[in-house]
Each structure stands twice: as structure tokens, then as C-alpha cells.
Amino acid sequence: MKKYWLIVLVIIFFNSCVNAPRNYKPAGFNSKEEVEPYIPIHLYLANCLTQLEWDSFYKRFPEYWNDIHQAKKMGSSIDFHPWYVAYAFRWNTLKRKPGWGIETQRRLDRGEIKDGDSVFQLIYSLGPPSRIIWDNDFEIILYPENRAVIMNQHKIIEIENCENCWLGTTDEEEIINKLGLIRPKY
């Protein structure tokens, strides 16, 4: 029973301090409200970061690394804390931005995306999506403007109109069919 309460306390503590300004400001956010849309998609975002980007992030913010490992020592099994993933993704996006070139930055600032753009450029330009379909066959990023962005290896390969696909009530297979995508048969 003690272990149960210890884990509960760890989770409460871990979740209570990560959204303080001292944490989100250095990562490139202005408020915790800016971070919140990233939370539901944190596992997808964590997968977008390379090992070098994670290393660079944790070298810059060793306190996050320590928090994760202290929680693990106390019984937590969390590998990717949702808030820290959001921070890491945003921080690495801002580190990548200078390499995009001036014209690309201006285009993205206008909310214009195109085939070949990375997931970092997509989310920088349009913000976090409302929904993601992400499995072994597809990587589909959905936005409320009925925009479906089909990705491959975190790069845009197609931008489609998909009415109401961003709503959580639409079945994934229905969306895949609406977009004319076909699952491979093995």
C-alpha cells in the first residue's frame, strides 16, 4: 500500500511542477496554454525527435533528465513525460528554424505548407494538429480546417481536403478510405 501512495505522490508531484514558467519559457513557449495542445500527441512528437536531438535537449536541460530518472527510481515507468516532450519538440524546432532559409521561414510564417516540408515545419506553421492517425501503415496529421496532411518518415507527401476528419468521432478506417489510401495486404 505504501508503494501505491508513493507512486501516486510521484505522479502528482511530477505533474504539478512541469508546467511552471521556469520550464516552458526556455523551451520557446510563452504560456502553459501554448503547450497544452501538444500534450495529447506527445508520443508521436517524441518519435519525431532523433536521438541526437534528445541528447542535445537533455544536455541543455539536465533537470528534465534528472526528473525522469528520479521518478523511475521511485517506481514510475514513464519514458516520455508529455510536457517535457512538448518542450523538447518546440526547442528542437526553434533550433532547426535557422537552417530552413529566409524564404521558407516567411512561407511557414504565412501558414503555407507544401510537399516535402518536415513535421517540424508543419507544426511550426500550423500549430499542433487536432488529431493524428499514426500506425504501421499511415502517418496522417489532421487539422480543423478539414486539412489532412499525409506524411512519410515525418515529411509531407500530400495535402488533402478531408471534411470533418479532424473530429474524434470519425473512424480511422473511414478517414483512410476518404483519403483514398489503401492498407498493404501481406
pLDDT at residue 16 tops 70: no
Q: Are 52 and 95 in contact (CB under 8 A)?
A: no
Q: Write out pLDDT tens, residues 171-182.
A: 899 999 999 999
Instruction: Write the Ramachandran bin of 129: left for phi over 0, alpha for psi from -120 to 50, otherwise beta.
Output: beta
CA-CA-CA-CA dihedral for 46, 40, 155, 116, to nearest 10: -130
- Domains annotated on the chain, with CATH: 37-100 (no CATH), 111-181 (2.40.10)
Distance from C-alpha of 154 to C-alpha of 95, rounded to nearest angstrom: 17
Q: What is the pLDDT of residue 8?
A: 52
Which pLDDT score, from 0 to 100, does residue 170 have?
78
The maximal CA–CA distance of the chain, rounded, in angstroms, is 59
Neighbouring-strand partners of residue 148: 142, 160
Cα(142)–Cα(171) distance, integer angstroms = 13
pLDDT for residue 64 = 81
Tell me the pLDDT band of 140, cut-offs 50, 70 and 90: very high
Q: Say if residue 135's pLDDT is above 80.
A: yes
pLDDT at 53: 96
Mean pLDDT for all residues in the chain? 86
CA dist 137 and 152 (Å) reads: 10
Residue 137 has pLDDT above 60, yes or no: yes
The average pLDDT across 137-155 equals 93
What does the pLDDT read at residue 6? 59
> pLDDT tens across 93-134, in order?
999 999 999 999 999 999 999 999 999 999 999 999 999 999
Q: pLDDT confidence of 2, banded at 50, 70, 90?
A: low
Specify the 3-state DSSP secondary structure of 158. Answer: strand
User: Quick check: 53 and 120 in contact, CB under 8 A?
Assistant: no
pLDDT at 65: 84
